[in-house]
Amino acid sequence: MAYRVGNKCIVRRINDKKDVPPELDESVIGTMRINPRSYKKIWNHDMVDRTKYALAGLLYLLLRERSIGNIAKTAALVLALSLWLRIDLVHGVLIFLSFALLWTVETLNSAIEAVVDLVTQEIHPMAKVAKDVAASATLVATITASITTLIFIAPPLYEKLKPFLASP
């Protein structure tokens, strides 16, 4: 395990307390005692700044990440289909939440990929692990959203299309 204290990187082996700096509290409540302001060069002081940065990130995702665009288009299609099929409110909310989960996971995946690219431009096995694991989270969220959508949309869609599917 490695800790960064200032510009100094402390590497600690399991059960080897001598390399841990005395100011690092490893107790259960030690983490909550750390003041993040002392480690940040830029601090978002007010809600306007935080909102501005969040919107900048959202615009970046919409313009630069093809997968986010695909999720947005699919969600719009599913919303239109849900309205046409008159899906009840609870099922509609569950579909919405599954797409919100997918959007959130894809956003985190993009952030992880950006950080990995920032840290190293070389091909490194651990960079591959980080990117592949983040992508696997997106895959799981995609499968979850797909199954949720199919469960709630397929039966009413079948009923709506049954007259057109019947044999003459």
pLDDT digits (tens, 9 = 90+) for 99-144: 999 999 999 999 999 999 999 888 889 999 999 999 999 999 999 9
Averaged pLDDT for residues 55-68: 95
- 106 is annotated as an active-site residue: yes
Domain that holds residue 7: 2-39
Write 83-87 long-range contacts (CB < 8 A, 24+). 84/160, 85/153, 85/156, 85/157, 85/160, 86/156, 87/152, 87/153, 87/156
Q: Judge if 12 and 35 occupy the same domain.
A: yes
User: Tokens 């696997």 correspond to what residue?
Assistant: 136
Q: Kindly state whether residues 52 and 96 are assigned to the same domain.
A: yes
**Same domain for 139 and 78?**
yes
Structural domains of the chain, count: 2
- Both 19 and 64 in one domain: the answer is no
Q: 26, 65, 106, 122: which one is catalytic?
A: 106
Q: What is the pLDDT of residue 21?
A: 56
Question: Are 51 and 14 in a shared domain?
Answer: no
For residue 5, what are the β-bridge partners?
8
CATH of residue 102? 1.10.287.3610
Residues 100, 158 within the same domain: yes
Distance CA 108, CA 106 (A): 5
**Within this chain, do residues 17 and 85 fall inside the same structural domain, yes or no?**
no
Statement: the pTM of the whole predicted model exceeds 0.85: no
Q: CA 129 to CA 31: how far, in whole Å? A: 26
